[in-house]
Amino acid sequence: MKSLVTGGAGFIGSHLCEELIARGEEVFVVDDLSTGSLDNVRHLRNNKDFHLVVGSVLDDTVLTELTGEVDRIFHLAAAVGVKLIMDRPVDTIETNVLGTEKVLSLASKHGKKVLVASTSEVYGKHRDHTLSEIDNMVLGPTKKRRWAYACTKALDEFLAFAYHEEKGLPVVVVRFFNTIGPRQSGQYGMVVPKFVKSALLGDPITVFGDGTQSRSFTYVKDAVRAVLMLMEAPAAEGDVFNVGDGREITILELARRVRSLTSSQSEIVFVPYDRAYGKGFEDMERRAPDISKIRKLVGYGPSVGLDEVLGIIIRHMRDAGIGETSAHRAL
């Protein structure tokens, strides 16, 4: 089996490539390294079954050649993170929408099955219940840049289902909920690596808002397992699935948990959203998935708890030399 992973040098993409290689597959990756990193796949680059092309999913020549080479496509390439959409809205919108359209068009032309990575951001401002795949989107006004990322990913989903219904393209859509694990960068606003790094360095752990907003967090290896289970299930074609962990935690409690697990003396400080992202920024008060649909179809469920995942991340950062002095001082 040959697989193409767009965005394969990214956080989730690199873990997916790792698992595919472990299963004996040949893996082709296209990644422009705008948010991905060569470090994420350095351990794979000498493997004869791993092929990396540094390029963009917007490049017709690169994408056409790779699509013709493989049996299936995992489309993970995207401009990700709240910080990125606030800083570079044009690039984010173009990459997410035009890149997905190119992937789907070529996949349809060559008859390749596609998995499209979407996000829990598409649900918007729900607050009263866990989120199921049939819930409506509740987004803010178009003048608030915060919601552009959610809209681009929702449009990706519409495109995927349009290709499935009109052209018969076998496609599966997954909505990731706050996937975490080793190799994730805090550069684009991802909260867990930011908290862990700050705690290990003895720096203040910065919580945006009042910390009462809640999230659920999914171990990246569980997310990869779910993706592969869905890709291999014919009944998943033409449908969308939440990929996450239904257990949730407030951001303030997460900060306290990280501080405790690292034995850190870091102060927890609060920064208003307006100061972090600009006037009028809106956040989601709650975001946790209902995973009954994917559980029923393929038997997926999370394999580890949050504390265990945080421990894995902490060890990974310490092994990378982050915070050795401060960590030893705290102990």
**Which residues form the catalytic set?**
149
- C-alpha radius of gyration, the chain, whole number: 19
Q: Widest CA span of the chain, in angstroms?
A: 62
Specify whether the CB–CB gap between 317 and 253 falls below 8 A. no
Q: Is 179 helix (H, G, I), strand (E, B) or coil?
A: strand
* Residue environment code for 125-146, b if the CB has 16+ CB neighbours within 10 A, otherwise e: bbeeebbebeeeeebeeeeebb
Residues 68/79, Cβ–Cβ less than 8 Å: no
Token code pair at residue 35:
């948010």
CA distance 226 to 178: 14
Element (H, E) at 19: helix 11-22
Cα end-to-end distance, the chain, whole Å: 49
- Burial of residue 229 (CB within 10 Å: 0-12, 13-18, 19+) is middle
Q: Which two tokens stand for residue 149?
A: 């990322």
Residue 43 φ/ψ, nearest 5 degrees: -75, -10
Q: Does residue 151 contact residue 89 with C-beta atoms inside 8 Å?
A: no
Q: Are 33 and 53 in contact (CB under 8 A)?
A: no
Q: What is d(CA 129, CA 26) in angstroms, rounded to the nearest whole number?
A: 41
Beta-sheet pairing, 248-250 with 214-216: antiparallel
